[in-house]
Amino acid sequence: MRRLEDRVIVVTGGGRGIGRATALRMASEGARVVIADFDHEGAQSAAAEVQAKGGKAHAAKVDVSERASVKKLVETVVGEHGQLDAWINNAGIIADSSLAKLTDENMERVIRVNLMGTFICAQEAAAVMKPRKKGVILNAASVVALYGNFGQTNYVASKCGVIGMTKVWARELGKDGIRVNAVAPGFIETDMTKSIPPKVTEMLVAKVPLQRMGRADEIAAVYAFLASDDASYVTGTVISVDGGVVT
């Protein structure tokens, strides 16, 4: 039997990049995947790809920064499937700027989606997991939360907060059988990184001990492990998947 057979898993920001790869991996492990994204067309495309490969998935539109939107999603998932086994907080945005040029608007926008969005989703998900005394919440952190990054005050602050919340929730929710962990990706090949100038890419790769960028499916594999019973005694941890950048 596959590790996640018939488990119901929500992946936010699942329309592309790491989220899409994670949805595909979860489905390949037997899960029923809800691909939730602000970009509904992207979510629908990802769901169609999962279905074309024989997996079970459907798309849902969500704004993780708005509680009413998240609450509606949770109610729909539980109403249709009768359970919620794992929630992956992958949705996030960037709005890079140096400290001198960073606006209040961009600081607040990134914090609202990346930090508050993770908080809102986790709170709503945990509420329906508690009565069943089991569940998994997985959060997207980043290696930049561990060592900083030029021009990313808002993003780094949000991801540092995600790491802190992960550790708090693991302590608070353990008694309810809910495990909470975070994954900190490094320099990963996605549509976002394709726009980086080649010289900058070369400079970044040179700092990676494995001497290459990571792939989205390599992050997805770690999420799949953490969502499964293979990680039944793993909670409150942050796993760096970065080719050795943070050692």
Q: Per residue in 144-190, pLDDT tens?
A: 999 998 999 999 999 999 999 999 999 999 999 999 999 999 999 98
Q: Is position 200 within any domain?
A: no
Tally of structural domains, the chain: 1
Our answer to whether residue 233 is catalytic in this structure is no
pLDDT for res 168: 98
Strand partners, 179: 136
Report the alpha-carbon angle 174-175-179, nearest 5: 25
Question: What is the per-residue pLDDT across 47-71, written as a single tens digit (0 to 9) for each?
Answer: 999 999 999 999 999 999 999 999 9
Tell which phi-psi region holds residue 243, choosing left (phi > 0), alpha (psi between -120 and 50) or beta: left
Q: Is position 58 within any domain?
A: yes
Q: Is position 194 within any domain?
A: no
Report the alpha-carbon angle 44-50-52, nearest 5: 100
pLDDT classification of 200: cutoffs 50, 70, 90: confident
Report field, pTM of the whole predicted structure over 0.85: yes
Which of these is catalytic: 147, 155, 223, 233?
155
* Domain limits for position 154: 8-189+215-241
- DSSP letter string over 116-164? IHHHHHHHHHHHHHGGGT-EEEEEE--THHHH--TTBHHHHHHHHHHHH
Q: Is position 247 within any domain?
A: no
Q: Is position 183 within any domain?
A: yes
Q: Is position 148 within any domain?
A: yes
Q: Is position 210 within any domain?
A: no
Q: Is position 160 within any domain?
A: yes
pLDDT classification of 191: cutoffs 50, 70, 90: confident
The CATH number of the domain holding residue 70 is 3.40.50.720
Q: Report the Cα 244 to chain-centroid distance in Å.
A: 20
Sign of CA dihedral 156, 64, 177, 8: negative
* Contacts of 7 by beta carbon, 8 Å cutoff, 6+ apart: 30, 31, 32, 85, 86, 227
